[in-house]
Structure 1
């Protein structure tokens, strides 16, 4: 699947308790939803990605990404989700903090070019199988984020139900499901690798 086939990008905020705590945020009682424009999409295929300078820190957020298939009578996550990937939700953190203080939407801090990074998709093995596998992010050869979907506050089924109710889900939509703790800034010449278990699924370099 190419990124040109993706219809909508839905994202879940603060879906890991330790991530919410590391940013000083309250742990939500229901899923926090936001979106990114499809123009933010890019591939973790070994390329060098260029980012805006002079706008404060840009933080990496490693996430499991779900791809929605054709609509069925069943709303089960195992019927609605056909593929999965790993992704990075990048955030202009200083700008996001300013927008939050003003009560403004987050999109300017979330939707910039190359802020929605994706590995290639692979077949979705089912929710139970995924909970047994960790996913991680390495920066310059050092693991900086790691987690499992079992740590989520709101599991895949709750995420699917919430997005369906709020937006309606269509074939080709993708969902970034939240990030574990360990988020932090990217810097010039950083090299990132995304791992599912011990298998590298994608990589990219950073430039400003």
Structure 2
């Protein structure tokens, strides 16, 4: 695993995803974090998830790797060296209860194995990203597909916001938001993450009754 210091995430960054869950469209980025212990690679193995905590939803995302401290004035290509695809898994039933109580989402977002990630590759630049869709296949069927042109807050804005509130440095990664099509996983599912026509990672799902 590449050396990763902090995991920052953007919620509801695609309007159609917010709508599919009945959430309001945010006027500014919704920021949250996840512990590094939640990271696990999509390298073909089986990944375990808790069976007894309600529905767990997949949320496919582009992940950016921050190479350096972020100055006040910057271009994305100057501070991002690599990218990956990832899945921000969410305990949806638990999240709903936490939101209703006005509590933080951490218990629903930060459990072990909730941050699946592929290997990183060199960041190709904003223009190349606009020309490439990313997608998630579940059991061979495409369930999520996105393009950064559909983001409400682009890479530069979310980097700026995260840096303003938390500070960013080498080794920090950003999960940049998920397009519509999120859904529950079940035991035996196989998930594949694709960048254009290239598969970047895959894994199978194991649901365990006594899994953490």
TM band (smaller chain):
over 0.9
Q: Tell me the TM-score normalised to structure 1 length.
A: 0.97
Q: Tell me the TM-score normalised to structure 2 length.
A: 0.96
2:92 corresponds in structure 1 to 93
1:32 corresponds in structure 2 to 30
How far did 1:72 drift?
5.7
Preserved contact between residue 70 and residue 169 of structure 2 (Cα < 8 Å): no
Summarize the Cα distance change of 1:17–1:77 in structure 2 as closer, same or farther, 3 Å threshold.
Answer: same
Deviations, residues 63-82 of structure 1 (Å, cap 9, x unaligned): 00000002264522110100
Structure 1 ranges of 4+ moved more than 6 A: none
Stretches of structure 2 that go unaligned for 5 or more consecutive residues are: 208-212
C-alpha separation in 2, matches of 1:117 and 1:143: 18
Summarize the Cα distance change of 1:180–1:72 in structure 2 as closer, same or farther, 3 Å threshold.
Answer: closer
1:196 corresponds in structure 2 to 195
| Residues 1:111 and 2:93 are matched in the alignment | no
Counterpart of 2:50 in 1: which secondary structure?
coil
| Residues 1:123 and 2:102 are matched in the alignment | no
Stretches of structure 1 that go unaligned for 5 or more consecutive residues are: none
Count of residue correspondences: 206
| Residues 1:139 and 2:138 are matched in the alignment | yes
C-alpha separation in 2, matches of 1:127 and 1:161: 16
C-alpha separation in 2, matches of 1:125 and 1:35: 25
